[in-house]
């Protein structure tokens, strides 16, 4: 019998609790997304939908030993909608076969580590001559005999998992956590204002996580921006898009230096609000072109003067599409921790971009009237027109 993992088992979350029709559509999409990640990373694997899991098996064309179940499981764990993945050994659904596979996996059981066996059985009860609990203790006894390790059912150092179905079973000792959420492509498209700083990449990641296709838009602020600022945006956009390689999430760059220069010359305390309003209009114009239903930012309430409650009202008044702010209620340390975790945190804080455009004494409690009175009359129309000048930068 096979003694090393020959399959990757993929568990999904919320898609599984939808109505049959919606679940079917979501799982087709999830399977497609996992295939795209495997292709993008050059990992062979045939993705199947199967009962309450996706399975990744060796492709029909794979030579012996060419399929790397662990690599497939690790890659699939990046797909939005996936809760966890496990490289596993396929066995017949019989207790002795399950025990043999588990003992094979226990060959590298760390010395002194405790373990538990978790069994999950589906199918008609009469098919298997055991309950989940009975088979778990039988397999547990075999692992204990082979390794001398102690059982800890509450907080084991390692869990051996048995996924038992009517005609086959899967035994695993390793589990990779996925992001959860919904499969990308199931919730339409949004245009995200993307500076490449700490917040907007995390916001884009959160939007992907809820199944949206994200089109990132960067405004090049001319003398207030800089090539390193743009390079950072390209790099972080590429990092976020790695989990959805079949979606066109390349950075759209809009040359906005002239508009910013004029805004700096014309405005004082309300400048950042006018800039944010112009940004929203650029994003809306792009949204119209790409068929997006909304726009998004990385703003968090009260984090900056332009993001106070009253000021958010003023910026939103320039938009007609819904403005999504996935980080609205998040604290900065949490956002920083998440940026590190998803790989978008950039160490050097650049003193470029919005920080340099900001006035010395920014307004924190603006009214729509005061902002409109200060900003150039043609600002929003000019912002819409600028969207036409966008170009695409591919970070990969």
Ligand X SMILES: Nc1ncnc2c1ncn2[C@@H]1O[C@H](COP(=O)(O)OP(=O)(O)OP(=O)(O)O)[C@@H](O)[C@H]1O
Pick the closer one to ligand X by CB: 9 or 352: 352
Applying CB under 6 A, which of residues 26, 72, 184, 221 lies at the interface with ligand X? 221
Contacts of 4 (CB under 8 A, 6+ apart): 69, 89, 104
Kindly determine how many residues on this chain lie close enough to bind ligand X according to the rule CB under 6 A. Answer: 20
Q: How far is the CB of 220 from ligand X (least distance, A)?
A: 7
Q: Distance (Å, rounded) from C-alpha 38 to C-alpha 111? A: 34
284 near ligand X (CB under 6 A): no
Backbone angles phi, psi at 274, to 5 degrees: -65, -40
Burial group, residue 265, by CB count within 10 angstroms (0-12, 13-18, 19+) = exposed
Stretch that binds ligand X, among 50-58, 143-151, 156-164, 302-310 (CB under 6 A): 302-310
Pick the closer one to ligand X by CB: 135 or 207: 207
Contacts of 372 (CB under 8 A, 6+ apart): none
Q: How far is the CB of 201 from ligand X (least distance, A)?
A: 7
194 near ligand X (CB under 6 A): yes
299 near ligand X (CB under 6 A): yes
Q: Which of residues 320-379 bind ligand X (CB under 6 A)?
A: 353-354
Applying CB under 6 A, which of residues 5, 197, 211, 362 lies at the interface with ligand X? 197
279 near ligand X (CB under 6 A): yes
Give the C-alpha distances (Å, rounded to integers) separating 137 from 3, 41, 146, 150, 153: 21, 39, 14, 13, 11
Pick the closer one to ligand X by CB: 181 or 197: 197
Pick the closer one to ligand X by CB: 71 or 231: 231
Applying CB under 6 A, which of residues 181, 298, 326, 362 lies at the interface with ligand X? 298
What is the CA angle 389-232-268, rounded to 5?
Answer: 65
Which of 255, 259, 297, 257 has the alpha carbon at shortest distance from 392? Answer: 255
Applying CB under 6 A, which of residues 90, 189, 294, 306 lies at the interface with ligand X? 306
193 labeled binding residue: yes
* H/E element, 37: helix 20-40
Stretch that binds ligand X, among 62-70, 87-95, 293-301, 387-395 (CB under 6 A): 293-301
CA 349 to chain centre: 24
Give the relative orientation of helices 199-209 and 227-241 as an angle to the nearest 10 degrees.
20
Binding-site annotation: residue ranges for ATP? 193-194, 276, 298, 307
Interface residue list for ligand X (CB under 6 A): 193-195, 197-200, 217-219, 221, 279, 297-299, 303-304, 306, 353-354
């Amino acid at each position: 019998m096979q003694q090393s993992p020959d399959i990757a088992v993929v568990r999904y979350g919320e898609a599984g609790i939808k109505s049959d029709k919606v679940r079917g559509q979501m799982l087709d999409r999830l399977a497609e997304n996992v295939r795209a990640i495997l292709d993008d990373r050059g990992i062979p694997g045939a993705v199947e939908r199967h009962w309450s899991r996706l399975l990744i098996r060796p492709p029909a064309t794979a030579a012996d030993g060419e399929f790397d179940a662990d690599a497939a499981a690790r890659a699939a764990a990046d797909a939005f909608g996936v809760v966890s993945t496990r490289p596993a050994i396929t066995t017949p659904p019989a207790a002795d076969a399950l025990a043999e596979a588990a003992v094979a996996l226990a060959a590298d059981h760390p010395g002194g580590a405790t373990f538990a066996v978790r069994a999950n059985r589906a199918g008609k009860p009469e098919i298997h001559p055991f309950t989940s609990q009975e088979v778990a203790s039988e397999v547990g006894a075999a692992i204990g005999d082979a390794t001398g390790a102690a059982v800890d059912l509450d907080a084991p150092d390692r869990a051996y998992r048995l996924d038992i179905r009517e005609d086959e079973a899967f035994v695993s000792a390793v589990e990779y956590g996925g992001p959860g959420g919904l499969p990308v492509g199931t919730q339409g498209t949004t245009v995200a204002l993307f500076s490449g700083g700490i917040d907007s990449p995390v916001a884009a990641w959160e939007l992907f996580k809820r199944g949206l296709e994200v089109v990132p838009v960067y405004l090049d602020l001319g003398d207030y921006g800089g090539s390193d600022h743009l390079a950072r945006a390209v790099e972080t956009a590429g990092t976020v898009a790695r989990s959805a390689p079949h979606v066109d999430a390349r950075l759209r760059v809009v040359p906005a230096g002239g508009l910013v220069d004029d805004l700096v010359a014309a405005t004082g305390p309300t400048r950042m609000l006018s800039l944010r309003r112009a940004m929203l209009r650029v994003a809306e114009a792009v949204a119209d072109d790409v068929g997006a239903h909304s726009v998004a930012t990385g703003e968090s309430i009260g984090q900056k003067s332009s993001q106070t409650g009253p000021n958010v009202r003023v910026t939103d008044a320039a938009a007609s599409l819904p403005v999504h702010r996935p980080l609205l209620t998040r604290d900065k340390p949490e956002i920083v921790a998440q940026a590190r975790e998803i790989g978008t945190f950039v160490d050097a804080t650049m003193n470029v971009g919005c920080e340099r455009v900001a006035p010395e004494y920014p307004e924190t409690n603006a009214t729509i009237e005061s902002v409109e009175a200060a900003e150039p009359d043609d600002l929003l129309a000019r912002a819409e027109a600028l969207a036409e000048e966008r170009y695409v930068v591919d970070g990969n």
